[in-house]
């Protein structure tokens, strides 16, 4: 994006995209909160009096640098909150994931940051994003270590391609029933139409916080990737209202319960011979029938096992060893 277009963005959007929390931090500090800037791109705002009943909410955006819609939406949410700071009823950690990738409008610089949240990174360990993940892991640990049991993490993304349900979410299965059901209900109130239950970590930030910190976590997909400043923010109205309510301790507006899908296959790219059986632009939640070939990879042939499976995140361009798609079924 040109310098002139960037300068034309609202100040709050420019600030968040550059991870400049100066003004917001000052406003919360002046209102008596304990404000921390533990790392570049990370802001924490906590009640001055520790309170185990107070929810701890981690809001992350820009984990992929070209997923700009949530950056715009959250910039407006946080800007409004910082101007009425006493309305904040949770301990908040705000995280801008891939600051350098946002600056150049790319998904990542070297390798996908959202595959680094795992103990064994293999050949990803030497990448630029591995260092960033270490920084975020440490800041996240410090935030949740002092928190009470009501822990949330919403990692806001956008999908690369169109989706039959434009707003959907991925929820780690290991979250306990009570908080998981509350999270899914809240996601519906935020306009999420479909929820995919995820049984296994792919090295994602949301799975990490659920597994390591007992958070009710979700990767939330809000439409498609777009250019900063050119996203249609009206598509985020329900999510924006739900976030407003969450951060202020208010009930979220009514919303329909999302459809729930189970993950039945994770398709891993094993080699450079990996070929998908359909085009790159195949929409998320496209149905395939039993026996259909999903992908081939040398001698490995991935086929549909159930009567019908829906493909999500088909991406043959990932590094060898990483997830190239998932197959889901309706519960």
Q: Tell whether 213 is in a known binding site.
A: no
Structure tokens at 202: 């792919």
Q: Which is nearer to ligand LFNQLBSZ, 64 or 121 (CB)?
A: 64
Which of residues 132, 157, 180, 323 is near Zn ion by CB under 5 A?
157
Q: How many CB atoms lie within 10 A of CB 112?
A: 22
Q: Is 281 marked as a binding-site residue?
A: no
User: Is residue 157 marked as binding?
Assistant: yes
Residue at token pair 């892991």 = 137
Q: Is 185 a catalytic residue?
A: no
Q: Round to whole Å and give the CA distance between 65 and 100.
A: 8
- From residue 42 to residue 71, what is the string marking binding to ligand LFNQLBSZ with x (rule CB under 6 A)? ----------------------x-------
115 binds Zn ion, rule: CB under 5 A: no
Per CB under 6 A, the list member of 44, 82, 114, 167 interacting with ligand LFNQLBSZ is 114
Residue 319: CB minimum distance to ligand LFNQLBSZ, A: 12
Q: Are 93 and 140 in contact (CB under 8 A)?
A: yes
- The closest residue (CB) to ligand LFNQLBSZ is 219
- CA pair distance 130, 164, nearest whole angstrom: 33
Stretches 22-30, 200-208, 232-240, 289-297: which one binds ligand LFNQLBSZ (CB under 6 A)? Answer: 200-208
Q: Which of 72, 221, 283, 308 is catalytic?
A: 221
Q: Which of 46, 64, 151, 153 binds Zn ion (CB under 5 A)?
A: 64
Minimum CB–partner distance for residue 156 and Zn ion (Å) = 9
> Could you give the angle at the alpha carbon of 232 between the alpha carbons of 44 and 75, nearest 5°?
15
Name which of 198 and 209 has its Cβ closer to ligand LFNQLBSZ. 198
Q: Which of residues 164-193 bind ligand LFNQLBSZ (CB under 6 A)?
A: 170
Rounded to 5 degrees, what angle do the CA atoms 44, 205, 70 make?
Answer: 65
Q: Does 219 bind ligand LFNQLBSZ (CB under 6 A)?
A: yes
Q: Report CA Rg, the chain.
A: 19
Active site residues: 221
Which residues here bind ligand LFNQLBSZ, judged by CB under 6 A? Answer: 64, 114, 157, 159-161, 170, 198, 202, 204, 206, 219, 313, 315
């Amino acid at each position: 994006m040109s310098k002139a277009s960037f300068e034309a963005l609202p100040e709050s959007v420019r600030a968040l995209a550059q991870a400049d929390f100066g003004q917001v931090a000052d406003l919360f500090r002046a209102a008596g909160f304990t404000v921390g800037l533990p790392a570049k791109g990370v802001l924490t705002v906590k009640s001055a009096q520790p309170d185990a009943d107070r929810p701890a909410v981690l809001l992350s955006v820009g984990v992929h640098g070209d997923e700009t819609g949530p950056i715009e939406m959250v910039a407006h949410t946080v800007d409004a909150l910082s101007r009425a700071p006493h309305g904040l009823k949770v301990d908040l950690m705000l995280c801008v994931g891939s600051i350098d990738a946002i600056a150049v409008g790319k998904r990542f610089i070297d390798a996908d940051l959202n595959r680094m949240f795992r103990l064994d990174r293999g050949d990803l360990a030497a990448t630029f994003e591995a260092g960033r993940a270490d920084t975020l892991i440490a800041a996240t640990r410090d935030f949740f270590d002092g928190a009470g049991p009501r822990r949330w993490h919403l990692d806001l993304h956008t999908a690369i391609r169109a989706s039959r349900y434009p707003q959907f979410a991925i929820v780690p299965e290991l979250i306990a029933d009570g908080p998981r059901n509350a999270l899914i209900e809240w996601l519906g109130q935020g306009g999420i139409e479909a929820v995919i239950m995820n049984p296994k970590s792919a090295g994602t930030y949301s799975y990490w916080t659920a597994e390591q910190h007992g958070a009710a976590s979700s990767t939330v997909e809000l439409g498609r990737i777009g250019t900063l400043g050119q996203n249609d923010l009206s598509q985020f109205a329900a999510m924006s209202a739900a976030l407003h309510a969450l951060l202020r301790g208010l009930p979220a507006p009514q919303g329909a319960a999302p459809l729930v899908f189970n993950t039945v296959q994770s398709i891993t790219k094993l080699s450079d011979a990996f070929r998908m059986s359909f085009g790159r632009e195949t929409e998320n939640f496209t149905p395939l029938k039993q026996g259909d070939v999903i992908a081939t990879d040398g001698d490995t042939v991935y086929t549909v096992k159930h009567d019908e499976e829906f493909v999500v995140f088909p991406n043959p361009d990932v590094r060898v060893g990483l997830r190239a798609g998932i197959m889901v079924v309706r519960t």
